[in-house]
Amino acid sequence: MSENTFELPHNSPVEPTRLELEDKIKFQCHKGISCWNECCARADVSLAPYDIIRMKNHLNIESSEFLNTYTVPFEIDAHGIPGIKLRTTDDGACLFMKEEGCSIYEDRPTACRYYPSGLLSMRALGKSEDERHFLMVKEPHCKGHDEDREITIADYRKEQVVEEFDELNRDWYRIILKKKSTGPTIGAPSDMSLQLFFMASYDVDRFRRFVGSDSFKSMYQVTDEEFSKYAEDDIALMQFGFALMKQVLFGELTIKERDGAYDKRTEERKDILAYRKEVEIDKHNQKAEEARKAALDD
């Protein structure tokens, strides 16, 4: 096994050892095992964009309905970058858990495919590219670790068909990693940036309508052929969303804007920005007045 270790919170089920593709794990899960469905009965599953595409298409519903019915939001970082987790029952069980197992097994999310291993995405100081490593989760209820089978991380990823998920989600993981690693140097994203991040990451069908709108087409130089592709292809649209997020969050200009589009957008937003500034000033003055009155009362 790799000798690289890292620190973890107290009582974490994650082992503090970084694994590589050639490292072996001792694990097997099957229907006859005594802990069958235990992991699904206490589910804490974060979702990535491609996970949602696979699941909502499996259920034959739009992404907005999937999000409303099967997920709950959380914040990925201190700046409010939104994340999505699978909703559970009041007892903590996954909504897709049945007695015979997962009801959407062929389209289950990345985290479920990896379990009990996991993807550890890192970026070294001074490096522009992310590094992929892996980790091991050992929870008391899981008896799969007692099974007499060894398998490399590489072969386990193939067995669980997780490579496709990793590859299609990789740009999104990089966006999250860059946002976390840059932190205050980029600053807190605006409400509009957060709304775009949520829509492009998780609500692909609503994002499709946004991209197909006249206002969007008037802003960006996207060909009719590309628009036609985004209208039909969830994956192509998802990848376009990643590029747009990079442009909005980090200024990586890969989608050309139409001539004068920036000035037009600035002019259209001027009144909104002025109003927001007034509201912020009023809030500040109100807090200052409340503080002054509190000081006088003391």
The Cα–Cα gap between 148 and 203 comes to: 42
- What is the reported pLDDT for 1? 43
Q: pLDDT of 178-205, one tens digit each?
A: 887 765 445 567 788 889 999 999 999 9
Which pLDDT score, from 0 to 100, does residue 178 have?
86
Q: Which residue would you say has higher pLDDT here, 53 or 290? A: 53
Q: Give the list of residues 6+ apart from residue 103 with CB closer than 8 angstroms, or none.
A: 96, 97
pLDDT in tens, 21-43: 999 999 999 999 999 999 999 99
Q: Please, what is the end-to-end C-alpha distance for the chain in angstroms? A: 63
Q: What contacts 203, CB < 8 A, 6 or more positions away?
A: 63, 64, 67
Give every CB contact of residue 206 below 8 A, 6+ residues apart in sequence. Answer: 63, 64, 199
> Which tops the pLDDT comparison, 9 or 55?
55
How large a percentage of the chain has pLDDT more than 90?
Answer: 61
pLDDT tens column, 1-24:
444 544 434 456 777 788 999 999
Count Cβ atoms within 10 A of the Cβ of residue 109 and give its class: 0-12 exposed, 13-18 middle, 19 or more buried: buried
Residue 152 identity (one-letter amino acid): T
Q: State how far the Cα of 61 lies from the Cα of 90, in Å rounded to an integer.
A: 24
Res 126 pLDDT > 60: no
What Rg do the C-alpha atoms of the chain give, in angstroms?
23
Vertex 193, ends 50 and 72: CA angle to 5°?
A: 50
CA–CA gap between residue 41 and residue 146 (Å, rounded): 20
Instruction: Out of 45-59, 97-111, 120-134, 169-183, pick the least confident.
Output: 120-134
**Band of the pLDDT at 266, cuts 50, 70, 90?**
low
